[in-house]
Structure 1
Amino acid sequence: MKDNNIKLMVRYAILMALTTVMTMVIHIPTIGTNGYLNLGDMVVFLAALMLGRKGGLIVGGLGSALADVLLGYTHYAPITLAVKGLEGFIAGTILETKLGKKSPISATIIGGVWMTLGYYLAEIFMYGAKASLASVPGNLMQGLLGAVISVALYRALKRTKAFN
């Protein structure tokens, strides 16, 4: 195996673990949907910024779903695998366009909006429309916070020699 492949695999593994940890360290239960708010989106977006859409998909889906399983939210793990994976994929895809290169915050915000919509749609089938609507403001704030922090952190990391 080439050194580049090993380095890439290590980056994936570290970012997946970091996503799991950031999701688990601060998790605030939400009323009405038996879900929780967390800081994992920040790392999902950081993965998309660093590794592109494939990295965002894999890190977002697997790292976030693992946190669900470890925290006892196993009923959310399949939904999270899809929603958070697509969140990273969407952000990573937009980051590869002119808009994303010019304004990475736009790409991450769109990813955060998708995450909010994805959970809302899934929770309609789980809890009904009214209960799922209750989670929208928290999920939106979680996605926006993750979007802003990830872009700021990415820019700071790009300035260091250790990042490359």
Structure 2
Amino acid sequence: MKDEKLKLMTRYAVMIALTTVMTMVVHIPTPATKGYLNLGDMVVFLAAIIFGKSGGFVVGGLGSALADILLGYTHYSPITFVVKGLEGFFAGALLETKIGQKAPIVPTAIGGVWMAFGYYIAEIFMYGREAALAGVPGNIVQGLLGAVVAVVLSVALKKTKVFNS
């Protein structure tokens, strides 16, 4: 029992670190909202696919917020923890449904759209409606790209049986 918990915690830690790295490696600043676009969503969705809603929340929230802190976007870290955590949670929860089992792109895409909406709501209070709206298209593209890449990677990982042991 302790070995299983340790194994799960280790896997979460690896995915949190991978989320942080993928968020930091490619980050494109968005001047209107003082935020940035990144590739971390694919790892958040991959965590939701592999670990479910709890793993999606933990990996999405902690990994993404840590990247914000390390990149100097500390003002975003609490928002990111909630928005990206819920992105992973929603995707993971929807992946448990019949539609999610048949077409995992649907729940991950919904998670990506949630992420864009979550940041939009937060940025309205930070910068105003117009500036917040300017960040929505980029966030939607980021979320949908992450959804597609995560689903493709999950198919490859399932074939290797890397997460079945």
Q: Which residue of 2 aligns with 1:63?
A: 63
Number of aligned positions between the proteins: 164
How much does 1:162 deviate? Answer: 3.0
Give the counterpart letter for 2:35 in structure 1. G
Q: Is the 8 A contact 1:31 1:134 kept in 2?
A: no
For the residues of structure 2 that align with 1:61 and 1:103, how far apart are their CA atoms?
Answer: 24
Structure-2-length-normalised TM-score: 0.98
| Structure 2: gaps of 5 or more residues | none
For the residues of structure 1 that align with 2:11 and 2:142, how far apart are their CA atoms?
Answer: 24
Q: Which residue of 2 aligns with 1:162?
A: 162
For the residues of structure 1 that align with 2:162 and 2:53, how far apart are their CA atoms?
Answer: 23
For the residues of structure 2 that align with 1:106 and 1:48, how far apart are their CA atoms?
Answer: 13
Secondary structure in 1 aligned to 2:33? coil
Q: Which residue of 2 aligns with 1:28?
A: 28
Residues 49-98 of structure 1, C-alpha deviations (whole Å, 9 max, x = no match): 00000000000000000000000000000000000000000000000111
1:8 matches 2:8: yes
Q: Which deviates more from structure 2 when the two are superposed, residues 3-12 or residues 108-117?
A: 3-12
For the residues of structure 1 that align with 2:17 and 2:39, how far apart are their CA atoms?
Answer: 13
How much does 1:2 deviate? Answer: 1.9
Give the counterpart letter for 1:107 in structure 2. P
Q: Is the 8 A contact 1:33 1:132 kept in 2?
A: yes
Give the counterpart letter for 2:138 in structure 1. G
For the residues of structure 2 that align with 1:162 and 1:23, how far apart are their CA atoms?
Answer: 23
How much does 1:4 deviate? Answer: 1.1
> How well do the aligned residues superpose, as a CA RMSD in angstroms?
0.8
What percent identity do the matched residue pairs reach? 71
1:146 matches 2:146: yes
Give the counterpart letter for 2:5 in structure 1. N
Secondary structure in 2 aligned to 1:78? helix
Secondary structure in 2 aligned to 1:29? strand
Structure-1-length-normalised TM-score: 0.98
Q: Which residue of 1 aligns with 2:109?
A: 109
For the residues of structure 1 that align with 2:159 and 2:114, how far apart are their CA atoms?
Answer: 30
Q: Which runs of 4+ in 1 moved over 3 A?
A: none
Secondary structure in 2 aligned to 1:159? helix
Secondary structure in 2 aligned to 1:36? strand
